[in-house]
Amino acid sequence: MKAQLYGALLLGTLFPLTAYADFQYQETTQMTGGSMLGMMKMASVFNSRMRQQANAPIVSTIYVQKNRMARISPYAMEIVDLDKETVTNVDLQKHTYTVMTFQQMRENMERAAQKAREQQAQQKGEQPQAANDTDVQFKINLRDTGATKQVSGLDTHETILTMQMVGTDRKTGQQGAFAMTNDMWLASDIPGYEEARAFYQRFAAKMGTVFSGSGISAEMAAMQPAMSQGMSDMVKEVSKMKGIPILQVLRVGATANGDPLPAASEAPLPASSAPETPSAGDVAKQSAASALSSRLGGFGLGGFGRRKQPPQDNTAPADTQTAQPQAQTANVLMEMQTQSGGFSTAPIDDAKFSVPAGYRLVEPGSL
């Protein structure tokens, strides 16, 4: 499922249910910076099509009708049906589609959990368990900056959500963080948007059953109590939000000393062609965030905390010295912008929630 769906799903849990009606809107998503964008551009040197699409905006239309939601982009469709408890993914280029039930999701998670338990037991039998010398702490903060501007013809105010998963080495005291910052411009109200909120709330309830039934949530909480507390803190912070996100600039990356990533409005990234853009070697050295994500049981953050650099040459230009500390202490892996608009309560054709005729059904994972 799309990252935007998860974000809307979280927001939807915070609002009351309403009556059924039709609602639709558009989202324009574009990768606007970060190490990943630079790597994509480097990889597309010999591929003109990839080069054109590296940071091209993608426009998706979201349709909500009763217990169904469809997200349609130029390349794919995703259809969620809460009555049938299915998620259908359609590849509009290959003319194929998959259907996965909520029960199948639960079974897949159960199998994954069982496999992880078996591998862990085997590793314990083969070698001593390595000591975890890293303390992990979650930091969540939501703040209203007081800034205002018009977005998609609507009056909005700015709210910034920051999250850091901070690791501290018990031996050296060094710190590093996997960090996320979401710079959001919120409108006070949009006619019809309550239908999307209500759908996401019902979807959240269904997904809660899937996760709790699989036993995954309990196992993760047992392995990393800090993660469970962090998710709880995030729900509390997001519940303080007042308004509907019209423009969001999401940053994900790594920081030294446990600091948050600066928000897009407060510290714009340099142009992708500027010298400050990390090289492939820099990305490799600073990719501890990826290792962290794949080691939820251990949180090995040894590579996150960066030691202080030697003093800089005092003959360097003043503006270079000013920019140097940020380059040393933070790496933005990805910056992505999402803008919503085209809100409408017009009736929606049932065809928007159906797989196009002639498409071939394949097994999940085969798209």
pLDDT in tens, 333-354: 999 999 999 999 999 999 999 9
Give a yes or no: residue 164 inside a domain.
yes
Q: Which residue has the higher pLDDT, 49 or 95?
A: 95
pLDDT of residue 52: 54
> Does the pLDDT of residue 296 top 80, yes or no?
no
Angle at 7 between CA 18 and CA 38, to 5 degrees: 155
- State the residue for tokens 């995954």: 216
CA distance 316 to 327: 15
Q: How many domains does the chain have?
A: 1
In a domain, 366, yes or no: no
Nearest to 161 by CA among 147, 148, 179, 149: 179
Instruction: Please compute the mean of the pLDDT values over residues 19-35 and round it to a whole number.
Output: 89
Calpha distance 75→89 (Å, rounded): 11
Specify if 301 maps to a domain.
yes
**Is 13 among the domain residues?**
yes
User: If you compute the radius of gyration of the chain from its CA atoms, what whole number of angstroms results?
Assistant: 22
- Burial (CB < 10 A; 0-12, 13-18, 19+), residue 362, is middle
Residue 175 neighbours by CB distance under 10 Å: 22
Look up the domain containing 231 and give its range: 3-309+319-361
Residue 90 domain flag: yes
Residue with tokens 């639709």: 24
SS3 assignment, position 214: helix
Q: How far is CA 19 from the centre of its chain?
A: 30
* 242 pLDDT more than 70: yes
The CA distance from 106 to 87, in Å, is 13
Q: Does 277 fall in a domain?
A: yes
Region 302-326: what's the mean pLDDT?
39
Q: What is the Cα 8 distance to its own chain's centre?
A: 11
Does 314 map to a domain?
Answer: no
Q: State the pTM of this model.
A: 0.70
Examine residue 367 and state whether it is found in any structural domain, yes or no: no
C-alpha 86/C-alpha 207 separation (Å) is 11
User: What pLDDT was estimated at residue 258?
Assistant: 80
- From 256, 1, 216, 199, select the one nearest 109 (Cα to Cα): 216
